[in-house]
Structure 1
Amino acid sequence: MYAIETQKKQYQTYILCDRTANSQVAIVPERGGLVTRWTVGDRDLLYFDEERFANPQLSVRGGIPILFPICGNLPDNRYTYDGKTYHLKQHGFARDLPWNVVDRNTEDCASLTLELVSSDRTREVYPFEFQLTFTYRLQGDTLEIGQRFTNPSDDRVLPFSTGLHPYFLTRDKSQLRFLIPSKQYWNQIDGALQDFHGQFDFDLDEIDVAFSQLSSHNAAVSDEAGGFQLKLEYNSPFSTLVFWTVRGKDYYCLEPWTAPRNALNTGERLIRIHPRSSLEMLVRFQVQPL
């Protein structure tokens, strides 16, 4: 049995429920369309910093933020288009702006569809027209995020990169085992290309690496201390997996991106949607017992 509940605290929160599977997903449209919680049974799967979330002046640390129209940061937060320089902060603006609820459904799953469209505010930093439609679907132990990117312009191509930045909760990083479809990664801290043998050094203060040569559209992390495996699936526009964590924090991030950092300047793997056209993408998370 599927249901959608609402809860009003600081923000209106929509809670997708699969009561048969005892799973829930909480979403806050007006705070960046953010997933703030995902539970299956009595297991919390996402890390979430409530104190930062309560302060709208701070970026969110936790949940599943949306990255658009860039992933990562730009040098000096700048890019140039048509001879003009624009300022765009790390990961773009989609995670900070209010999204509108445009549909909800409880027939075959619990789903909520949100929309973000270009405005005078976005055009100040990103001079393009766009319409983003994200549909969150909960069914049993699976959370899907369907994404539709539309260019409503009559004459201008829409260039962007996009991704998700999930913060997965873990109590013991030493008990994590990784199945990532790549043998090498770029270390974003020292710029070096390094071989990957299935594990990270969690004694480091920070790990920030990008897997850009992916051999499949699947990845998985086994949490042996928690007794479950998290599976990640994504379709072909996603070309990069970023792994990020810091020492002393109970989270790790495994992020599907469509392009590496600075793509808006370099053009590397940048998505370009023609006028009056759309592109659909999908990311699926599933949790299963070990």
Structure 2
Amino acid sequence: MYTIERFEKEMFMMYQLKHPTGNSWITVCPERGGIITSYGTNNEERLYLNEATLFDRKKNVRGGIPVLFPISGQLHNGRYEWEGKVYDMPNHGLARIHPWEVLETHSDEDHAFISIMFRSSLSTKGIYPFDFKVIFTYTLREDQLLIHQTYENLSDQPMPIYPGLHPYFKSDKKVIGLDIETKTYFDYNDEQEKQFTGQIDLTHLKEAVRLENTHTKVKATVDDQSINMTMDEEFHYTVLWTEKDQGFVCVEPWTRDNGELNRQEQLIEVAPHDVFETWVNFQVL
């Protein structure tokens, strides 16, 4: 049987889903932005986590798998205009800085999952003027992490979104090989389109780089890890990022490009009282 352990750490309630052998697991902290803090396969931790940032509510968490909603990336001057009114929006949106609610947990002989919810409130509507309900279901099956996402628009007008995920994978090396059918990538450091030769060295790059997904499977190789992502076709981009002298690389599935809420050309618009569903699966070998 898969198991789910509930425990408290530094005043936060944590949920750990574990394979019957104990060789694979995921740990979730709903109160801290619904974040996955740990993902293990083959009895090895695959995610980087700076625990000091996790337990300090004033800081953005460095590590785990932060949820990016309603936007992925940044906006020009941290602002956007919608229907004639200007709003301030934090980098990567609101989901990662608000507590989530646990809806359901389940485990059996085949898998284990936890479903959590993030709802709009008076504080979110001052930044993002929509009523919404976001539900994530994190499932552990064998060594795979499955993330099903539901974005429900409870408003009477279309709701613009372009969500994503921000996984921090443990690695002391910064060269990432990618099995992806694209000939170019966009470098946010100098805002230039460049030739893609199969790998990217992030060692001296402060900002991220972005590659366009030409199909729904992406394989990234870093150190001795093979990071396999399968995803819904709405995930148009893979974004790579790191920080100097830090033991991680980020391989991030994004639905749309940085700054899309400023351009408003390719937004995903959820119709009033409708639902947008999508998914991403990870397997690290």
- When the two structures are superposed, what TM-score results if normalisation uses the length of structure 2? 0.95
Question: Which residue of 264, 269, 281 maps to 1:267?
Answer: 264
* Structure 2 Cα separation of the partners of residues 33 and 209 of structure 1: 26
Q: Distance in 1 between matches of 2:83 and 2:207?
A: 36
Match of 2:146 in 1: 144
Cα 1:248–1:267 shift into 2, 3 Å: same
Verify the 8 A CA contact 2:174 2:203 in the aligned structure 1. Answer: no
Q: TM-score, normalised by structure 1?
A: 0.94
Q: Which amino acid aligns with 1:152?
A: L
Deviations 1:138-193 (A, max 9, x none): 0111000000111122x21111110000000013335x432233221111111101
Partner of 1:39 in structure 2?
A: 40
Q: Distance in 1 between matches of 2:179 and 2:242?
A: 17
Does residue 1:184 correspond to 2:179, yes or no? no
Equivalent residue, structure 1, for 2:123? 121
Q: How is 1:83-162 mapped onto 2 (pairs within 5 angstroms)? A: 83-107=84-108, 108-153=110-155, 155-162=156-163
Structure 1: which amino acid aligns with 2:123? R
How many angstroms does 1:105 deviate by? Answer: 1.0
Corresponding residue of 1:49: 50
4+ long deviations beyond 6 Å: none
Residues 205 and 272 (structure 1 numbering): CA distance in 2 closer, same or farther, change over 3 Å?
Answer: closer
In the other structure, the counterpart of 2:215 is: 216
| 2:174 aligned with 1:173 | yes
C-alpha distance in structure 2 between counterparts of 1:143 and 1:277, whole Å: 27
- Match of 1:206, SS state, is coil
Q: Does 1:72 align with 2:69?
A: no
Deviates more, 1:267-276 or 1:110-119: 267-276
Contact 1:114 1:134 in 2 (8 A): yes
SS at match of 1:121: helix
Q: Which amino acid letter does the alignment assign opposite residue 2 of structure 1?
A: Y
| Shift in Å, 1:21 | 5.6
**Could you say which residue in structure 1 is the equivalent of 2:26?**
25
Distance 1:205 1:162 in 2: 24
Task: Specify the alignment match of 1:283 in structure 2.
Answer: 280
Greater CA deviation, 23-32 or 197-206?
197-206
Alpha-carbon RMSD: 1.4
Letter in 1 for 2:151: F
- The number of equivalent residue pairs is 283
Could you say what secondary structure the match of 1:200 adopts?
strand
Q: Unpaired runs of 5+ in structure 2?
A: none
Identity fraction in percent: 35
Alignment partner of 1:230 is 2:231: no
| Secondary structure at 2:256 match in 1 | coil
Tell me which amino acid in the other structure corresponds to 2:276: L
Unaligned runs of 5+ in 1: none
Q: Distance in 1 between matches of 2:262 and 2:150?
A: 23
Alpha-carbon distance, 1:207 to partner: 4.9
